[in-house]
Structure 1
Amino acid sequence: MARTTEQDFIASLDREPAPADLPPTLQSIRHGLRGEWEQAHGIVQGLDGADAAWIHAWLHRIEGDLDNAGYWYRRAGRSLASGGTGEEGRLIAAELLSR
């Protein structure tokens, strides 16, 4: 199966179904970028590691809970983001897709 590119990922935001090869981290980001916070959060809660912590932080930023976001940014080893949440979500996805 072909690997999802950043362009394919962004294009998928406006259609169903999601690309079949998306790992849970990218599924969570996709839901978050689509405004489906509960689904995004439900996925990331079951994941471990720095990438999951970064996504978790971003989702709490979207929610407006900056204290909780700060906790997750620290767990991810990252600074609290200051740009738009949509921009940050696309940045996280791009970084994960580039690996």
Structure 2
Amino acid sequence: MIDVNDFKQSINDARLPAGLPLHVMALWYDASGDWKTAHDLIDQLTDQRSAHIHAYLHRKEGDNWNADYWYKRAGKTRPKVSLAEEWDMLVQEYSR
């Protein structure tokens, strides 16, 4: 499991940790200001985890229709929390 505080510090340090799961790596790039790389990492994947990250990224982009499509593919609904709170929840969920 990744320590969320260490993970956030790696973003501040612009130092991608080695061995990150792909889904968490996408979240790292997103938080580092590189939405495109984050999206490119998961765009062609069809598993539910990828769909969940994909949904978050489109929600962040402001494309709620597309986000809702991906939340449905992930078996989720769009959360009623801030983007920052959702990002934290995703890191915790997919870093296990």
Verify: 1:21 aligned to 2:19, yes or no: yes
Partner of 1:33: 31
Unpaired segments of 5 or more residues in structure 2?
none
Alignment partner, residue 58 of structure 2: 60
Aligned to 1:6: 4
* Moved beyond 3 Å, runs of 4+: none
Q: What CA distance in whole angstroms lies between the structure 2 residues aligned with 1:86 and 1:33?
A: 9
Which stretches in structure 1 are left out of the alignment for 5+ residues? none
- What's the TM-score once normalised by structure 2's chain length? 0.90
**1:14 offset after TM fit, Å?**
0.6
The separation in 2 between residues aligned to 1:47 and 1:7, in whole angstroms, is 28
Residue 83 of structure 1, CA deviation: 1.4
Counterpart position of 1:51? 49
- Asked if 2 retains the 8 angstrom alpha-carbon contact of 1:33 and 1:86, the reply is no
Judge conservation of contact 1:50–1:77 (CA < 8 Å) in 2. Answer: yes
Structure 2 letter corresponding to 1:52: S
